[in-house]
Chain A
Amino acid sequence: MNKILIIIKREYLTRVRKRLFIITTILTPLALVAIVGVQILLVNVSNDTKKILVADESGVFKNKLENKEHLQFSYSDIKFEELKKEFKEKGYSGILHVPADFNMYTPEGIEYFSDEQLGLGPQSDIEDNLTNIIRTMKLEKIDISPALVDQLSKSVTLNTIVMSEKGEKEGNTGLASGIGFGMGMIIYIVMFIYGGMVMRGVLEEKNNRIAEVIISSVKPFEMMMGKIIGIALVGLTQFVLWIILIVGAFSVLGYFYAHQLQDFQHAQQMIPGAQMQMQQQMGKWQAYGDLQKSLSSINIPWLVFTFLFYFLGGYFIYASLFAAVGAATGDEPDASLNMVITMPVIISFFIMTNIPNNPNSGLAVFASLFPLTSPIVMVARIPFEPPWWQIIASMVFLVLGFVLIVWMAAKIYRTGILMYGKKNSLREVVKWLFYKYN
């Protein structure tokens, strides 16, 4: 067997068989599913309807408060002081007290009495409800109908059309930035998690002094690449397992909650005021349809290709840099050397977050050409369809950068891995680049 394959196999197997790897690989998707499951459960639990008794001494709000599926209002003329004593027995959760001298221009003095906390959601619901009623009344006072207000406050939605040789196409900025951000984010995380894993592996070999034994059998370059590829496969395994587990677990979750969701929708229709809710739902569905339309406008195989291209390019560049830093530092990790590598990654992250606002700014274009930042920045720009020349130039630079950086990192690695007990400054490390070996 080729020696590099033997190294890849060891790097892969020792990590994949670790208990921590198995636990995190299985638990992460399960935790995710559990969180979602608990949320669904909580929605069902908090569905308990709160019945609130309104003691409106001013009469301003009488029969005007809107019922919601979890908030129902009843009105009573009985004295507030007496209600306080008996609301619990009558099955109410609390009393909304409006004082007799309530003035809608200085809306103060409304109180909620209960033996339990109201909760943030219901509280803001009630507040909104009261505010709306007062606003409507004020508008009526100056002869403006609510319909007119609706007309006045209609907001504008902008449809963006991207012009290209193929003709005009409807774009979706939100979706493009979502996809771009998601892909950039994954590459960002991968660089740190698996790049860090490469660095720790190199440090272990250097501090254990096993590096010298291995380098007397294989070339340092084979040793470094074996480690980098082995760890790439570990990452890939983890991703594939996550995807399988998440999809699997959500299908199970979906199966168990399917009937509950139906109940939930059924119940909504029974509750007065649910129509409004339904309308909101309809709006959401329409948005979803739009999303589907714009999804079909995106070239998915192209996205996958560019993602994998930058993913691999970025990983190999940064993993070899991390390997070089590991080899150069040894027992005492050196913050300044670490910074040299992590800075471009963090800078690319910040540039990426700004891309939705301005996908074709000078900085974004530069950063998507420069090989240390392009894996994150270009991937975030791809859904915004940058000009072809930029994509091609960026890919060519990434390949050239990859060759140059791996070559440099291999030189630093080779020198550093055998230097013990010495702290190496950045200047010294740069000198290593000019050492001659073969």
Chain B
Amino acid sequence: MSNIVELKNIRKVYLKTAAVDDVSFIVPEKSIFGMLGPNGSGKTTTIRMITSIIMPDSGQVLFGNELLKRNHTALMGYMPEERGLYKKMKVWEQLVYLAQLKGLSAKDAKKKVFEWMDRLNIKDWWNKKVEELSKGMGQKIQFVSTVVHEPKLIILDEPFSGLDPVNADLIKNEIMRLRDEGATIIFSTHRMEQVEEICESIVLYNKGKVILDGKVDEVRRRFRQHNFSVKYEGVTPTMSDFRFKVQSTNDHEMIVKIADDAQPKDLLRTLINQDCNVISFNEILPSLNEIFIQQVTTTQ
């Protein structure tokens, strides 16, 4: 699998403070990639450098295997966190305008805009002014403007904020579909549960630096605490072995921490030897949220 974006030691300084400091990472093609981090940690600055809005002071941005050029932006779609549309313009005119700026002809732009409005059930709104729409509606229109020119790289900054669950689900499915059709999605957020659900790999930012990156499962395993959840029926088993430490017991569920020199199968064997009726046995991996908070607070 080739890479769509590669950042090599990029750095951007604003008035003596480094907004982004020596950041390098790779975004694989046709994947959903998460950029995480607290507010002001450098995510938006990085995105702006990928979209050619600003240039890095040093380092390189590669797009496809080429050095980033201005005309690459036609292959990108960017939805900023701060949403913006012309309030006084009609929905379809606005979408056609933004698509034309991405290089579509007026005719193509119009055709695709109406296809997308149909797909997201906002066709009835085509001739309304943006100021007449609800916030969620505006959000869907903004999403259309980001993807209407069929970009290879779609960058979404907090795409679900302000959406109700039904519409959030609709957009989530569209993101998945676009990925299946060959687009790459970079997804910037601080909402961890969404990342775990849809992202394949992530980078974690703090104070302008990447403090963690990799595939989601791999990252979670890297921070595993070796905690296992055991659910059983009948009598509560006893843990006399010092390698197994019971963290908590609660209504036929037990959380057990296994020492480094033991294996999960050792714990399972102990349970079976006691003739415990185990109905579920699984490892508790830390959530990205826990890792995020732990990492951000320890690096402070």
Contact = CB atoms under 8 A, between A and B. Distances in A.
B57 A209 contact: no
B110 interface: no
Contacts of B9: none
B221 to A, nearest CB: 36
Q: What DSSP secondary structure best describes chain A's contact surface?
A: helix
Contact of B73 (A1, A217, A420, A431): A217
Interface in B86-127: 86-89, 97-98, 100-102, 105-106
Interface string B238-254: 00000000000000000
A82 B53 CA distance: 93
Interface in B158-207: none
A14 interface: yes
Contacts, number: 66
A436 interface: yes
Contacts of B84: 205, 208-213
B122 to A, nearest CB: 18
A7 B84 CA distance: 17
Interface of B: 15, 48, 51-55, 57, 70, 73-74, 76, 78-80, 82-89, 97-98, 100-102, 105-106, 142, 145
A214 B87 contact: no
Interface in A97-143: none
A210 B94 CA distance: 11
A438 B82 CA distance: 25
A208 B86 contact: yes
A213 to B, nearest CB: 6
Given A212-B53, A437-B54, A438-B55, A217 B98 contact: yes
A10 B97 contact: yes
B82 A209 contact: yes
Given A431-B15, A436-B57, A438-B55, A213 B145 contact: yes
A210 B97 CA distance: 12
Contacts of B83: 209
A424 to B, nearest CB: 11
A3 B106 CA distance: 12
Contacts of B76: 216
Nearest to A10: B97
Contacts of A217: 73-74, 98, 101-102
A6 interface: yes
Interface in A182-216: 204-205, 208-216
B49 to A, nearest CB: 11
